[in-house]
C-alpha cells in the first residue's frame, strides 16, 4: 500500500513523532476548532490509542500539505476486540467469537479547506489495498455525526434504523453512560433526501459497501458528536463496489 502515488496526492504511513503530531493537528482542525468541542491549549487532538495505531497521511505532492489522515488498529480476530477504541463505548461481546482478521479504522478526517472528492476516493482506495494485502475480513469503527443533539440527525438515524441495523449476533450492547437508543425510540419514517444530506461521508461510504450499524448512538459531549458503531464484512461488499475501490487502489 505505502507509498502510494495518486494524481496530486501521496499516501504513506506516519514514520516519525512529527508525522503523528501533524495528524493530530489536522484532527484538531477537523474535530475541535470551531466545532463546539472542548478546546485544548496544545492544538492537538490526541489520545492513548495513537501509540497503538498506524497513522495514514495523505499529502499534496506539490506542497506537502496534509489533507487527510486516519489510523488503523490491526486485530488478529475477535478475541482481541477489547483492545479497540470502540470497545470503550460499546459492548462488543457479539464479535468476540469472530475468527477472521479485523481492522479498526478511526479518526478519519479531511482538511476543512479541502473539497476535492478525489481525497475521499484515494483514502478508501489506499485502505482497500491494505485490507487486501493483510487479508482483513472485517472493517469496523465509530462513525460520528457533528452535534450531540440527536434531533439534529433524526432523519439519518431513522434511515439507519430502517435499512442498516447490524445482524443480531453482532449488534453491540449498551456500555457508554450516555446513549440514544434510536432504534427503539424513533418511530418516524425517514425523509430520504434529508437523511442522505445529513449522513456523514465516511458512514455513507460504509453503507454503500454493505456496512451495518449499532442500534444506539453514543453521545460524546467533549467532541460535540454522537457516533454509531459501524462494521462491514469484506465478503459482503458488492462486486461492483469492490472493483471500483480496487481500481483506485491499483
Q: pLDDT, tens digit, for every residue of 193-236? A: 999 999 998 899 999 999 999 999 999 988 889 999 999 999 99
Q: Is the pLDDT of residue 90 over 90?
A: yes
pLDDT at 33: 82
Mean pLDDT score across all residues of the chain:
93
Q: Tell me the per-residue pLDDT of 16-34, one tens digit each, with 9 for 90 and over.
A: 999 999 999 999 999 888 7
C-alpha cell belonging to residue 91: 459492548
Instruction: Tell me the pLDDT tens digit for each residue of 162-180.
Output: 999 999 999 999 999 999 9
- Whether the predicted model's global pTM rises above the 0.85 cut: yes
C-alpha distances (whole Å) from 201 to each of 44, 109, 195 are 23, 10, 12
Instruction: Indicate the CATH number for domain 4-249.
Output: 3.40.630.30
Domain boundaries, the chain: 4-249
Amino acid at each position: 500500500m505505502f507509498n502510494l502515488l495518486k494524481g496530486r496526492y501521496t499516501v504513506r504511513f506516519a514514520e516519525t513523532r512529527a508525522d503523528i503530531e501533524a495528524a493530530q493537528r489536522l484532527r484538531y482542525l477537523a474535530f475541535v476548532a470551531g466545532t463546539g468541542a472542548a478546546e485544548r491549549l496544545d492544538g492537538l487532538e490526541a489520545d492513548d490509542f495513537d501509540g497503538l495505531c498506524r497513522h495514514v497521511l495523505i499529502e499534496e505532492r506539490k506542497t506537502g500539505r496534509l489533507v487527510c489522515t486516519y489510523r488503523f488498529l490491526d486485530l488478529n480476530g475477535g478475541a482481541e476486540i477489547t483492545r479497540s477504541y470502540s470497545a470503550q463505548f460499546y459492548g462488543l461481546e457479539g464479535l468476540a467469537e469472530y475468527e477472521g482478521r479485523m481492522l479498526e479504522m478511526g479518526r478519519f478526517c479531511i482538511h476543512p479547506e479541502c473539497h476535492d472528492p478525489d481525497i475521499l476516493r484515494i483514502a478508501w482506495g489506499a485502505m482497500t489495498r491494505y485490507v487486501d494485502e493483510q487479508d482483513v475480513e472485517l472493517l469496523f469503527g465509530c462513525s460520528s455525526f457533528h452535534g450531540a443533539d440527536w434531533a439534529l440527525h433524526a432523519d439519518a438515524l431513522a434511515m439507519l434504523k430502517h435499512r442498516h441495523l447490524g445482524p443480531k449476533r453482532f449488534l453491540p450492547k449498551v456500555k457508554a453512560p450516555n446513549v440514544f437508543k434510536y432504534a427503539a425510540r424513533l418511530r418516524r419514517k425517514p425523509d430520504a433526501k434529508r437523511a442522505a444530506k445529513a449522513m456523514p461521508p465516511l458512514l455513507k461510504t460504509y453503507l454503500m459497501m454493505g456496512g451495518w450499524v449499532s442500534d444506539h448512538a453514543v453521545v460524546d459531549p467533549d467532541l460535540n458528536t454522537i457516533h454509531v458503531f459501524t462494521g462491514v464484512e469484506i465478503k459482503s461488499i458488492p462486486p461492483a463496489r469492490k472493483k471500483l475501490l480496487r481500481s483506485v487502489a491499483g
